[in-house]
Amino acid sequence: MDEHRGGAEPHAAVRVDLRAIRDNVAELRARAGAAEVMAVVKGDAYGHGLVPAARAARAGGASWLGTAVLGEALALRAAGFGGRLMAWLSAPGEQWIDAIAADIDVSASAIWTVEEIADAARETGRMARLHLKVDTGLGRSGAPEADWPGLVDAALKAQAEGLVNVVGLWSHFAIADAPRHPTNTAQVAAFSQAVEIAQARGVRPEVRHLANSAATLMLPDTHFDLVRAGLAVYGLSPVPDVAAPADVGLRPAMSVRARLALVKRVPAGHGVSYGHFYVTDRETSLGLIPLGYADGVPRHGSGGDGGPGAPVLAGGRVRRIAGRVCMDQFVVDLGDDDVHAGDEVVLFGDAAAGEPTAQDWAEACRTISYEIVTRFAPRIPRTYVGWEDLR
Ligand SMILES: Cc1ncc(COP(=O)(O)O)c(C=O)c1O
């Protein structure tokens, strides 16, 4: 029988340090200068948990909270969040009435969206707070340059009827993670021109906003009145080729931890996991980690199947995943180290604690750290640290 160190803890947990989120937002506020900070909490706060992360962000001084889908903004209102909330992604037939009733700032990139919002405002008898989005080069949402004056005029018409208040003009960067890329300069110029056009036609915006995390940290000339920071709020670097989180005053909030489900000795030449993409080269101990792709561990993190395997801290040393990641479990090769079932392993966390990082995982899985933290499944319990320090 394998020795084990047990206890009543869950076999795996996503741990979120709310103080880190609070402090990261405070750091972003300091760097944003006169601009306000919107903490972007879409995607369940990048996997950190919508309500706890939003509370920590507010404690750090985020005067705005932003989501993509309206459902998340409504969930924040329902949880008691006052203050400015913005939801920017919509589809035809959106629940505009709910948005207006909950006093959520909304966005339009097309005239038909302005018309839907105006109709809902007429029905509720309340004015909608509207941000107009221009495509300055991302090629995703936002009105193309040619459609911008028409969109502005449609919004001003609805404003004249007392149905909307055009409070924001905004856009989004395509390549801010490469701060010196000429596209950034071109987008700032296009945005400034779009703002001038809107102002010349009569818009008096409360906030002009363009910067994401990368631009907040690296491109101070893009801050305008409000920055929309997501990844940096959670303590990850949006410019991993330029700066690690600690270099820009951030610390990661999330760590993913598990307890070894089994440790066993196997001889040399033993195939490991489906497909036998890893074969032991000596007698060794294998450690079984009870997390898999159903939990959000990317199968691209497999070792020996085209890549070196994502890193895991186990028994005081960083090791690489051995063989394929399965639906609920994967394996690491522990050698002859004194490691036991029940011992804690860390998939990623804080480099300052010697733990692999979400960025390390992103590189091993050929993706971005955004995707690594966002994908951990609800079936893994979230453990929050630092609630008591939020006020
Ligand atoms: C419109 C918009 N603004 C801001 C952000 C935040 O970006 P980041 O996480 O890079 O700060 C996002 C996220 O992708 C976004 O879609």
Is the same domain home to 224 and 105? Answer: yes
Q: What is the pTM of this model?
A: 0.96
Question: What local confidence, expressed as pLDDT, does residue 305 receive?
Answer: 76
Question: What local confidence, expressed as pLDDT, does residue 206 receive?
Answer: 98
Is the same domain home to 383 and 341? Answer: yes
Is the same domain home to 67 and 212? Answer: yes
User: Annotated catalytic residue: which of 46, 234, 274, 278?
Assistant: 274
DSSP characters over 204-249: --SEEE---HHHHHH-GGG-TTEEEE-GGGGT--S-TTT--GGGGT
The question of whether 274 is a catalytic residue gets the answer yes
- Give the single-character DSSP code of 381: P
Residue 274: CATH number of its domain: 2.40.37.10
The residue contributing the CA closest to ligand 1 atom 2 is 172
Any domain includes 382: yes
Please, which residues have CB within 8 angstroms of residue 271's CB and are 6 or more apart in sequence?
A: 278, 279, 323
List residues near ligand 1 (CB under 6 A).
Answer: 40, 88, 172, 212-214, 228-232, 238
Domain of 315 in residue numbering reads as 254-389
3-state secondary structure 13-72: EEEEEHHHHHHHHHHHHHHHCCCEEEEECHHHHHCCCHHHHHHHHHHCCCCEEEEEEHHH
Question: pLDDT 10s per residue in the chain (391 long)?
Answer: 345 554 567 899 999 999 999 999 999 999 999 999 999 999 999 999 999 999 999 999 999 999 999 999 999 999 999 999 999 999 999 999 999 999 999 999 999 999 999 999 999 999 999 999 999 999 999 999 999 999 999 999 999 999 999 999 999 999 999 999 999 999 999 999 999 999 999 999 999 999 999 999 999 999 999 999 999 999 999 999 999 999 999 999 999 999 999 999 999 999 999 999 999 999 999 999 999 999 999 999 999 878 889 999 999 999 999 999 999 999 999 999 999 999 999 999 999 999 999 999 999 999 999 999 999 999 999 999 999 999 7
**How is residue 68 written in tokens?**
């993509």
Rounded Cα distance, 120 and 115, in Å: 9
How far is ligand 1, taken at its centre, from the CA of residue 82, in Å? 22
Candidate of 228, 237, 373 to mutate for ligand 1, largest count of ligand atoms within 8 Å of Cβ: 228
Question: What local confidence, expressed as pLDDT, does residue 3 receive?
Answer: 52
Question: What local confidence, expressed as pLDDT, does residue 7 receive?
Answer: 55
Is the same domain home to 260 and 380? Answer: yes
Is the same domain home to 195 and 339? Answer: no
Any domain includes 50: no
Rounded Cα distance, 263 and 340, in Å: 6
How far is ligand 1, taken at its centre, from the CA of residue 75, in Å? 19
User: Annotated catalytic residue: which of 42, 234, 278, 370?
Assistant: 42
Question: What local confidence, expressed as pLDDT, does residue 2 receive?
Answer: 47
How far is ligand 1, taken at its centre, from the CA of residue 172, in Å? 8
Candidate of 42, 67, 89, 172 to mutate for ligand 1, largest count of ligand atoms within 8 Å of Cβ: 172
Q: Which atom of ligand 1 is nearest to the CA of 172?
A: 1
How far is ligand 1, taken at its centre, from the CA of residue 92, in Å? 22
The annotation status of 327 as a binding-site residue, yes or no, is yes
Any domain includes 332: yes
Question: What local confidence, expressed as pLDDT, does residue 391 receive?
Answer: 72
Residue 93: CATH number of its domain: 3.20.20.10
The annotation status of 140 as a binding-site residue, yes or no, is yes
